Amino acid sequence: MSHTLSSELQCGRFRLSLGQHDRPLVMGVLNVTPDSFSDGGLFDAHDRAITHARQMIADGADIIDIGGESTRPGAPPLPIEQELERVVPVLQALRDCGKPLSVDTRHAAVMRAVLAEGADMINDISGFRDPDSLAAVSDSQCALCIMHMLGDPQSMQLAPHYNDVLAEVRDFLLERVQAALAMGIVRARLCIDPGYGFGKTLEHNLTLLQQQSTLQQTVALPLLAGLSRKSTIGLITGKPVQQRLAGSIAAAVIAAERGARIIRVHDVPETVDALKVWQAARLGALIDNA
């Protein structure tokens, strides 16, 4: 059964416009962790995290994605209580910021707790594979970002192998979408993420980026792309993580060109500007949904 790509995403208290004439939305990364790969320790204090979130909103972020558990390659799992201690106070403080609040978690207990505190989206790197995860979100109005990851953060970069990376990521996403629909979750609440850097080599990531339009059209849901500052950018440019701005912006524009409707980034103002220029050139007119 074929589906027409929706021009809106139901996201908790918000309906986000994702039409072809809209600029791709920018999701600002807010890691309240001491050990994330890019900005670990910078925003783990609640006051610094809240200040940073408000600055990202001022800089044009459309969504704030709050993460309390590092999922960098090799990261150990975090106790649920500690993840909630990091995330919930920030979520509470930003509740009335005027933008959708996403929580990056793979744990059903955390999902239930943050939805009770008003989270608008659950961004699950494990694709809601935990049998309890879909039950945790099914009765809410939150958006679900269903991501592909091979294995888990501790093992995902240990010689990842695919016979056909595009087909295997596609099939996984289609299966998880069907599982969500079977729980009564409507398509208008769903978006997908190919999971750049999560159990993938440089070649896997480049194949997925090259074929991203095909993936998005096949699954027929809005696609979120997160390439910001990742090791793929470093391997291509030879730059350390804090010097990957130009490469990250290039990746964001390429992802947008190939169908991504949400771009997850650390560097919000620069990415917003780049996407505004890309959008104006694509449409031949100055039209912006910021």
- Provide the angle, in degrees to the nearest 10, between the axes of the packed helices 268-283 and 245-257: 40
Q: How far is CA 123 from CA 102, 204, 242, in A?
A: 7, 22, 24
The per-residue pLDDT for 199 is 92
The per-residue pLDDT for 250 is 98
What tens digit of pLDDT does each residue of 91-121 get? 999 999 999 999 999 999 999 999 999 999 9
Catalytic residue numbers read 230, 264
The per-residue pLDDT for 60 is 97
The per-residue pLDDT for 159 is 79
The per-residue pLDDT for 290 is 47
CB atoms within 10 A of CB 152: 16
46, burial (CB in 10 Å: exposed 0-12, middle 13-18, buried 19+)? middle
The per-residue pLDDT for 262 is 98
User: In which residue ranges of the chain is pLDDT below 50?
Assistant: 36-44, 290
The per-residue pLDDT for 37 is 39
Second-level CATH architecture of 8-283: Alpha-Beta Barrel (3.20)
Q: Which two tokens stand for residue 183?
A: 């729980």
Helix intervals (H) in 39-132: 46-58, 80-94, 108-116
> Domain boundaries in the chain?
8-283
The per-residue pLDDT for 155 is 65
The per-residue pLDDT for 47 is 86
Give the pTM. 0.93
